[in-house]
Structure 1
Amino acid sequence: MEKAGEVEERILQAALRVFIARGYEGASIDEIADVARAGKPSIYNRFTSKEILFREVVLRWAQQSDEMTVSSTTGTIEERFQSAAILILQRAITDESIGLIRSVLGEATRHPELATTIHHTIRAHGTETVMKLVAELAEAEEIRSLPAFAPGNLEATARHFIDLVLLPVLLSSLYHADLTRVKETMEDHAREAATFFLSGCGYRQEPDGT
């Protein structure tokens, strides 16, 4: 007998596929039920409306970045931040995630409250995740005394790091049907953005590399 959690997982996976393919407005519970091989009552027992199901799909996608970790002891501080930047992009720039973001943006006019709520949820969740990552890296002796990495400034510092690393690539991705070229160049961008970020935070690498 199939477990309840397995049914919910199948529904969420099906909903993700349908929302990406059809957009929020074009998606129907009937199609989601068909793709999920689940009856409509099974869906409505778990998600009482299409809006709630859509929110859950987006929130689930956002939570996929929870386990981002970068070694705080391997390589120079610049290399560690570059690795963090690359990891952020690898998690965020996928065909699945860009398709879902396009679905959210497509509803910004028809369902502004839904789009705004999802935006704030993703933003808050991403900032919290990256803040933990930056806090770990900020333990390094080279930068721990810099004001940008003081505990009270970490949230703002994390947001600036996200904006420098992610926003240009995200914007480019939304305009490209094929993400191949974006993915080919995004690691170079990540390294450049991380170096620029550290410089803006006041970090200056010594000539001998320490």
Structure 2
Amino acid sequence: MAIHSGSTQIASTTRRSGSREAIVDAAHRLFLERGFGAVRMDELAEAAGVARRTLYNQFANKEEIFREMLLRVSRQLETAFPPGVETQGGVEEVLRLIARVILDLHKSPEYLGFLRMVVADSRQFPWIAEELAVVMNPQTERLVRFLAHLTSLGVLNCRNPTLAAHQFMGALNDLSLWPWMLGRPRLPVPDDEVIEATVQMFLKYYQSAPIKESRS
């Protein structure tokens, strides 16, 4: 009896977990197709293939489902930017590695779909963009700290590490992320070329000698 009871409990937990995943998958599809505000909970239950009661046992409202989707994005970022990335070689090697990670993320349909949904719905639901920023900002701050640290060592000359970090990411986003978001083709340039050009352009400016102020 103990074995049977344990097996039943495991099966029940698995079903609950499967239902939860199915609901989030359905929400991802419907939110992207129609927008967060246009989708009703009943429609999510039908799309996920679960009973309405099952849906409400898992999530009290759409906001909770959105936050579960956000957890997926957070896990993607944590996997893409594991601890210690900043120590994987010299400045050029690390910048190339970070650039590669960013471009690889831009190839994830789930990641891109989530970003597109947030952009589309954030005007009506500003909290969506705010909660995404809470997840995204720590990764940007890691790059800022990395650039600030190298500046303190004299390797780089980033007077404003935050500006420098956004310039580096912005160059990559403009070539890879925004074309997809706007539904236009990206430049037919291989990733290796994009990465090398971006890193060298960045270093050409930020490894330059600091400008000395003239004294009267």
Q: Does 2:206 correspond to 1:201?
A: yes
Task: Give the length in aligned residue pairs.
Answer: 193
The match for 2:193 is: 188
Higher relative CO (CA 8 A, sep ≥ 6), structure 1 or 2? 1
Q: Does 2:106 correspond to 1:101?
A: no
Aligned equivalents of 2:134, 2:204: Cα separation in 1: 25
Closer/same/farther in 2, CA of residues 48 and 163 from structure 1, 3 Å limit = same
Aligned equivalents of 2:163, 2:86: Cα separation in 1: 22
Q: Which runs of 5+ in 2 are unaligned?
A: 1-10, 210-216
> TM-score when scaled to structure 1?
0.69
Closer/same/farther in 2, CA of residues 9 and 162 from structure 1, 3 Å limit = same
Aligned equivalents of 1:187, 1:2: Cα separation in 2: 47
Q: Does 2:27 correspond to 1:15?
A: yes
Counterpart of 1:8, as a letter, is: R
Q: 2:76 aligns with which of 64, 87, 94?
A: 64
Closer/same/farther in 2, CA of residues 59 and 73 from structure 1, 3 Å limit = closer
Q: Is the 8 A contact 2:119 2:129 kept in 1?
A: no
The match for 1:164 is: 171
- Deviation, structure 1 residue 50: 2.0
Q: Is the 8 A contact 2:122 2:128 kept in 1?
A: no
Any idea what SS the aligned residue of 1:176 has? coil
Aligned equivalents of 1:13, 1:127: Cα separation in 2: 25
Structure (1 or 2) with the larger CA radius of gyration: 2
Q: Does 2:136 correspond to 1:126?
A: yes
- Deviation, structure 1 residue 162: 2.4
Q: Is the 8 A contact 2:96 2:195 kept in 1?
A: yes
> TM-score when scaled to structure 2?
0.68
Q: Is the 8 A contact 2:122 2:129 kept in 1?
A: no
- Deviation, structure 1 residue 87: 0.8
Report the aligned-residue RMSD.
3.4
Q: Is the 8 A contact 2:31 2:39 kept in 1?
A: yes
Q: Does 2:127 correspond to 1:117?
A: yes
Closer/same/farther in 2, CA of residues 27 and 78 from structure 1, 3 Å limit = same
Closer/same/farther in 2, CA of residues 35 and 182 from structure 1, 3 Å limit = farther
Deviations 1:80-101 (A, max 9, x none): 3122112112113433333222
Q: Does 2:44 correspond to 1:37?
A: no
Q: Does 2:93 correspond to 1:88?
A: no
Deviations 1:163-205 (A, max 9, x none): 232244322111226x6x568645533332222223332368x
Aligned equivalents of 1:71, 1:18: Cα separation in 2: 38
